[in-house]
Structure 1
Amino acid sequence: MEDVGLILDLVLAFGAALVGGFVAQRIGLPVLIGYVLAGVLIGPNTPGWSADFERVQLLANLGVAFLMFALGVELSFAELQRMRRVATVGGAIQLTLTFGLGAAAAIVLDWSLPAAFLLGGAFAISSSLVAIKLFLGRGEGTSLQARAALSLGVVQDLSLVPMLALLPLLAGTEDNLAVSLARSLGVAIVALGAVVVLGTRVVPKILFLVAGSGSRELFLLSVVVIALGTAVASHAAGLSLALGAFLAGLVVSESEFDSQVLTEIIPLRDLFATLFFVALGMLIEPRILAGQAGLIVALVAVLVVGKFVIGTAAFLIGGLEPRTATLAAIGMAQIGEFSFVLAGAGLGFGIITRSQYGLVLEVALGSILVAPLLMRFGPVLADAVSRLPGIHERTATLLGAAPPHEELSRHVLICGFGRVGSELGAALERRGLRYAVIEINPAVVRDLREAGVIAYYGDSGAEPLLLRAGVRRARTLAVTVSDLVSAQAAVRIARELNPTIDIVTRATDADVVEILRRAGAGEVVQPEFEAGLEFVRHVLRRQGVSARETELITSRRRTNFYDGGEASERS
C-alpha cells in the first residue's frame, strides 16, 4: 500500500490553516493568529487527530527559505547599505539591552547563571520571518520600517553563531573559549564570503543560461535550487537557513531577472510560509500553559514591552524618525525560531531543564500571538513616541527649515508623497495650482522643503497636522497613503473639520473601498481595478468598438464596482 502519510499531514495542516485563518479574519483578528491556533488543534499535545510534527516542520522550513529569499529579491544591497547605521549602532544597543533583560528575568526566577545567559540570548533574537509577515500583512513588505527590522534581524541572526559557540563552555564541555569562538566565526565568515562570491559570479550566469532555454519550468527549478541550495549551505556552515536564503535573494536582486524570479517564487512563498506558523502552534503544550499561565503571561508582558521600548530607542539612536522606529520596533517585539534553536541546544548540553525549555517555547509563542495585535496600535504608539520630550525637536532638526506659516486657501492637500502623490504634485506644479504635502518620510519632507514646496512631516491621520496644513480651507484632499488606519483617520477628520471638502483617496484593496466611503471619501480609487479598466478600454477600441460605447461600458463597470452594485448585477 502507498505511504500517504506526508500527503495526509499536508492536507491536515493546510486545512486547519484555512479554517483557522478564515475564522480569525471573520472575527477581526490577524490571520497569523488563526494559523498558530490551527497548529495547536492538530498538534501532538492536543487530543484528537494530529499531524506529524517532524514532517510539518520540515516543510515549514521551505516556507522560511522561500519567504526570506523573496524578500532578498525585493530589496538590494544598496538599500541595506543605507541601513548600516541602524544595523550596527541600533543592533548593538538592542542586543545588549534585551540580552540583559532576559538574563535579569532568569535571575529573578532563580535560574543558574548559564541558564540566565541562555534566556538572555533567547530574548535578544527576534524572528525576522514573523516581523516580515506582519509588514506584508499591512502592505509594507518593502517599507522603511520593514527594511530597518530586517537589517536588525540580520545582525541578530549572526549573533546566534557566537552564542551557540559559548554553550559548550557554559556546560563545562569546552575548555578553550578563544578556539571555540574563532572556529565558529571563521566558518561563518568563509560561508558568507562564498555565498557573495559565488552568487555574484555564478548565479547570474545560471539564470541567463536557463532563461535562454525559453522554458518556464526550468527557470522555476533553477530559482528553487538557488534558494534552497544556498539556504542549506548556510545551515551547514553554522548559520541559519533564513540568512542563507535571504543572501541568495539579495544576489538575484542585482540581476536583470529579479522581477521574473519574484513572480515565480511568490506562490511558493505564500503557501509554505503558512506551515511555519502552523508548526509553531503544534509546539504549544496546553498542560504547561495551564500550569504556569501567570508566569507565562508575566514573561510575555516583560518581553514584548521591554523589546518594544528598547527597540524603539535603538532605532531612534540608529537614525530613524519616530514613526518608522516605532513600527520597526513593534515588528521585532517578539522571539521566534532562533530562540527555539538556542533553547534546544541549551537543553542538549544540560544548561536548562525540560521544564525551562518548555517555558521558553510558551513565552516565545505568546509573544508571536501578541505581535499582530500590538501592530494594530502602531499609529497610536508612534504618535505617542513622537510627542516625547526631545523627540520632536530631534525630528525637526532632521527635516530642515519648517515651511513658512501662511494661510493656505482653496489648495490641494496631498497626504503621502510616494509614486501616486508625487505624480499628482507634478501635475499641479505644471498647472500652477497650489498644494501642500503631509509625508511620513523625513527625507522626502526635507527635499520638498528645499524645493520650495509646503511640506509637513508626520502621520496623515493626525488632526493637529491636518489643521496646520489648512484642511479647513482646502478645496481638495488627496489621500494616497497605503496605510488603511492613517487613510481612514485622515478622511474622517477632514470630513468633520471641512464638510464641503472634496476627498479622493486610494484603496489598496477592493475590500476597503466601502470602509473609506463610510469614513467620508467622495471618491475612492483602487489602482488594480483602474488598470483593469484601462486594459478593457484598449482591447475594446482595437476590436472596433466605438469610443462612445467603450466609455459607456467602462463607466457602468466603474459605477457598479465603487457603488457596491456588483452583487445585484451578477444576479
Structure 2
Amino acid sequence: MTPVEALQPAIALLGAGTVAALTSRALRLSPMVGYILAGIVIGPFGLHALSEGDTTHLLAELGVVFLLFDIGLHFSLKDAKNNKRDILGLAPIQMLLCGGGFSLVAVAFGISWPVAIAIGFSLALSSTAVVTRVLAERELNSSPLGQSSIAILVFQDIVAIFLLIFANSLEADPAQLVSAMAIAAGQSVVAFIAAALIGRYVVRPLFQVLASAKVPEIFTMTTVLIVVAAAVATGAIGLSLTLGAFLAGMAIADSPFRHAIQTEVSPFRGLLLSFFFVNVGLMIDVPSLFTNLPVIIALALGIMAVKTVMIFLTARMTGWNVPGATQLSFLLAQASEFTLVVLSISAIRVGAPGNWISILVASTALSLALAPLWAGFGIRLSRRFAEKLTESSDANAKISERSTGHEKPRVIVFGMTDAGRIMTDALVATHIPYVALDNDPRRFISATTDGYSVVFGDTSDFRMLETLGATDAPVLVLGEPRFSISQRLTDAVKERFPNLTRYVAVNDPAERSRHSALGMKAYVVQAQMDAIALACDVLKDLGLTELQINDWTESMIDRLERNDPGPEHPEPAEVA
C-alpha cells in the first residue's frame, strides 16, 4: 500500500466531517445526523470516495475507545453510590425487559437462542456517543436527568463489555461457552484490580514527574499512550478494547491531573467520534435500504418505541415523575454503537438467517440518526405533562414526597434558576432533605422535565410551607431576587421563623446591599461558579465538612464542563 492509499481514508473522513459540521450548523441539525449522512454520501453507494475497511473500522473504534476513557475519567464509586437507584434498579431492570423481549422476537424469527440473546441485549443498549452528545448540546449533564442517564450508560457499557465477550465466544465450541465466560469474567476482575493499583502507584507518580518536566508535548503523548496501551492490553487477553480504555480512565479519575488529562484527550475524542458516525453511514447498504425500506423503518421505529415504553415504565417504578420519565425514556430509546459491533461479529452474522443482519445494521444506524429528533419530541411531550402538573396539587404533593424522602426538609429552595438548580444539585448529592418551589410556569416546566423535584408554588404563601412540612427548615435559598416581597415579609418571617437563615442570589452589588439590609445573605450570581460558591456556603452552614464540600464542588464542575459540546458542535434548534 502506497502512502497515498494509506492516507486516502483519513483524508476522506476529515473532508466529509468538515463539510458535515458546517452543513449541520447552517441547517441547525445535530452534528450526529450530518456525520451519518456524510458517510452515506461518500460511501460505496454514493460518491465512491470511501468504503468500509480496516482503517475506517479502526478509526471508528478508536472514537468509542476515547469516549469510554472519558467516561472512566468521570466515574467513581462515590458517584455510583449516589446513583444507586439507577445503577442497581432502573438500568438492570430496563436491560432485562428490553433485552429479554428483543431476544424472544429474534427466536421467533428462527435465530438460535445464544445468537438471539447477543442480538437482543445489544439492542437493549443505548448509544453512549449519541446520548452524551445530546446531553452536552442541551446543557443537561448537571441535571438529575443527565446524572441518571450517565449512570445508566455506565452500567450498560459495563454490560456491553461482557456482551462482546459472550458474542465472540460463540465462535468457540458451545460446550466451552460457560468456561470461556467464566475465564473472561475472572480476567475482567483482575483488570479492574490492576487498573486501581496502577492508577494509584504508577500513573499518579508518572504524571507528577511529567508535570515537573514542563514539556507540553510529553503530557499529550503520555495521555494518548495510556489510553491506547490500556485498550490494547485488554484486547490482547481476549477482552474488548473499550474495557481497557474505561479502566484507564478510572485509574486516572482520582488523580489531581484529571482535568489536564481530560483537556488533552478532548480533541481526540471529538475528532474520532465524528469518524465513528461517518463510519455508521458507510455501513448502511443503500440498495438494501430502499429494497427493504418499509421493514427497516418499521424495525427502527419499533425498537425505539419498545425501549421508550419499557424505560418509561421502569423509571416510573423506580420513583421518577411522569415528565422526567418521559424525557429519560425518549433520550435512551436508540440502539447503541455496541449493537453495530456485535452485529459485525462473524458468529452473529452466520447465526442469523437471510439478510437480517444487513436490515438490523440499517435499522440501528437509522435509530442513531433519529435519536436527536426523538429526544426533541420527548422534550416537547414531557413539557406537556409538566404543564398539567402546574394545575395539580396532588401531583405536586407526590413530587415533594420524592424530594424530601419522607424527611422534614432542612432547606427550602425557591426559583429554579441556574443558582436554584445548582443549590438543588448540591442538596441531592449530599443527601440533605429539601423542598424546591417555583411559581414561574416556564421554569417549573423546564426543571420538572429535566428530572428535578419541584413543587409549583410560592414561599410567600406560608400555608404552602405548612402543607409541605417545611416550616421548621433552617435555611431558605432564593434563586432570584424578589426585594419587594422580601421587604414586605421580613417582619413576618422573623416572627414566625426566628431561626431561618435566608440566602438570595442577586444580579448586582446594589441589589446585594438592599437585600443585606433586610438581614439576608445576598450573593451576586453572574456565572455558574458564583452559584457554586453560594451553594458551598449553604452546605457549610448546614454542618458539612470541607472535604465533603470540596468533593461536591469538583464533581459539579466536572458536570458543567461536560455541558460544553465544543466549538465544532453547533447548538441544535430549540425544541420547546
Q: Same fold (TM over 0.5)?
A: yes
Residues 188-218 of structure 1 show CA distances to partners (whole Å, capped at 9, x for unaligned) of: 2222222222223221111111111111111
**Match of residue 121 from structure 1:** 121
8 A contact 2:343–2:349 mirrored in 1: no
1:238 and 1:354 map into 2 onto residues whose CA distance is 29
Amino acid at match of 1:221: M
SS at match of 1:460: helix
Question: How many equivalent pairs are there?
Answer: 459
Write out aligned runs for 1:547-566 (5 A).
none
After superposition, the Cα gap between the structure-2 partners of 1:80 and 1:477, relative to the gap in structure 1 and judged at 3 Å, is closer
**Match of residue 487 from structure 2:** none
Q: Unaligned regions of 5+ residues in structure 2, if any?
A: 449-453, 461-477, 482-505, 508-524, 530-576
**Match of residue 86 from structure 1:** 86
Of structures 1 and 2, the one scoring higher in RCO (CA 8 A, sep 6+) is: 2
**Match of residue 460 from structure 1:** 443
Q: Tell me, yes or no, if structure 1 residue 416 matches structure 2 residue 417.
A: yes
After superposition, the Cα gap between the structure-2 partners of 1:178 and 1:393, relative to the gap in structure 1 and judged at 3 Å, is farther
SS at match of 1:139: coil
Residues 316-352 of structure 1 show CA distances to partners (whole Å, capped at 9, x for unaligned) of: 4445555554444333211122212222235457211
SS at match of 1:98: helix
Amino acid at match of 1:395: I
**Match of residue 190 from structure 1:** 190
Residues 132-183 of structure 1 show CA distances to partners (whole Å, capped at 9, x for unaligned) of: 1221222234544333223323333333455456558877932244323312
**Match of residue 336 from structure 1:** 336
The two structures have a TM-score, normalised by structure 2, of: 0.69
| Identity of matched residues, % | 25
After superposition, the Cα gap between the structure-2 partners of 1:12 and 1:162, relative to the gap in structure 1 and judged at 3 Å, is closer
Residues 70-106 of structure 1 show CA distances to partners (whole Å, capped at 9, x for unaligned) of: 3333454322332233112222211111112212433
Write out aligned runs for 1:75-224 (5 A).
75-107=75-107, 109=109, 111-160=111-160, 163-164=163-164, 173-224=173-224
**Match of residue 373 from structure 1:** 373
Amino acid at match of 2:370: V
After superposition, the Cα gap between the structure-2 partners of 1:182 and 1:172, relative to the gap in structure 1 and judged at 3 Å, is closer
After superposition, the Cα gap between the structure-2 partners of 1:133 and 1:359, relative to the gap in structure 1 and judged at 3 Å, is same
Write out aligned runs for 1:130-529 (5 A).
130-160=130-160, 163-164=163-164, 173-318=173-318, 320=320, 323-345=323-345, 347=347, 350-353=350-353, 355-383=355-383, 394-400=398-404, 414-418=415-419, 443=428, 449=434, 460=443, 462=445, 468-469=457-458, 478=480
After superposition, the Cα gap between the structure-2 partners of 1:26 and 1:49, relative to the gap in structure 1 and judged at 3 Å, is same
What is the CA distance between 1:32 and its match in structure 2?
0.8
Q: Which moved more, 1:53-62 or 1:255-264?
A: 53-62
2:329 and 2:207 map into 1 onto residues whose CA distance is 37
**Match of residue 49 from structure 1:** 49
RMSD, matched Cα: 4.1
1:144 and 1:334 map into 2 onto residues whose CA distance is 20
Amino acid at match of 1:344: S
What is the CA distance between 1:2 and its match in structure 2?
5.8
Amino acid at match of 1:289: L
**Match of residue 22 from structure 1:** 22
1:203 and 1:444 map into 2 onto residues whose CA distance is 28
SS at match of 2:355: helix
2:526 and 2:192 map into 1 onto residues whose CA distance is 45
Amino acid at match of 1:88: L
Q: Unaligned regions of 5+ residues in structure 1, if any?
A: 405-411, 423-438, 480-503, 506-523, 529-571
1:291 and 1:440 map into 2 onto residues whose CA distance is 50
The two structures have a TM-score, normalised by structure 1, of: 0.69
1:50 and 1:190 map into 2 onto residues whose CA distance is 40
Q: Tell me, yes or no, if structure 1 residue 12 matches structure 2 residue 12.
A: yes
